[in-house]
Amino acid sequence: MKTNTMGWVGAALCLATATASAQEAPLSEEQQILLRAAQNVTTRTETVSRILDYCTRQDAGFAATGLDSIRAWRQRNQAYVDLGPALREETYAMGVRQFGVTREEAEAALMAAVEEVAGTFAEEMEQVDEPARRRHACDAYARKISDGELDIGFERPEVKAMLDARLDGTRKR
């Protein structure tokens, strides 16, 4: 699965429109982390969902394994998922301010980045001819999901730290 092949959303926002000015200030580190967080929350949520949906459609016997995996994942990640809409709105607003893109262009850029990652699993699995090998791959992904390897912020400690700080801030209010 291509978790690192896509750039962060800021790059996609720049490419989404030719109206971005070369004179604009670069994004601050905080803004870059916000963009990565919005992308990571959205991408990981969609990827986990698509993997488990695909595997269940391929083999109804996988449903129990998939359900156990998604329950474990949600228990660890639901608070981050709940931050997703606000993160995306901030990202879209930043795209409008920083790059002069429309909200629709910013949203399309994020969704294209999400599709690049989340859509990869089914494409790769369709290349596997044997159902037993597909089931083995599904079981391996279910273990990764259960073990936290596809958790939000798993490979990006700066994203996890920012999300945790946001959660701490909302809990203190």
Owner of token pair 């449903």: 63
- pLDDT at res. 172: 61
* C-beta of residue 31 within 8 angstroms of C-beta of residue 10: yes
Tens digit of each residue's pLDDT (9 = 90 or more) over 77-91: 999 999 999 999 999
Owner of token pair 């996988």: 62
Closest CA to 1 of 146, 138, 163: 138
Higher pLDDT, 169 or 25: 169
- Domain for residue 5, yes or no? no
For the whole model, what pTM was predicted?
0.80
- Domain for residue 115, yes or no? yes
- pLDDT at res. 12: 41
* Mean pLDDT in residue range 61-89: 96
Q: What's CA 70's distance to the chain center, in Å?
A: 15
- Domain for residue 20, yes or no? no
- Domain for residue 1, yes or no? no
The domain containing residue 46 runs over which residues?
26-172
- Domain for residue 4, yes or no? no
> For residue 71, is pLDDT > 70?
yes
Residue spans of alpha helices (H) in 18-173 = 29-58, 63-99, 103-118, 120-126, 131-147, 157-172
Average pLDDT score over the chain: 84
Distance CA 65, CA 104 (A): 37
User: Which two structure tokens, joined as six digits, stand for 82?
Assistant: 């709940």
- Domain for residue 168, yes or no? yes
- pLDDT at res. 13: 40
- CA dihedral of residues 35, 38, 39, 43 (deg, nearest 10): 170
- Domain for residue 15, yes or no? no
- Domain for residue 41, yes or no? yes
Tens digit of each residue's pLDDT (9 = 90 or more) over 102-130: 989 988 988 898 889 888 988 898 898 89
- pLDDT at res. 99: 86
Tens digit of each residue's pLDDT (9 = 90 or more) over 21-41: 333 558 899 999 999 999 999
Domains in the chain: how many in total? 1
Distance CA 52, CA 58 (A): 10
* C-beta of residue 34 within 8 angstroms of C-beta of residue 90: yes
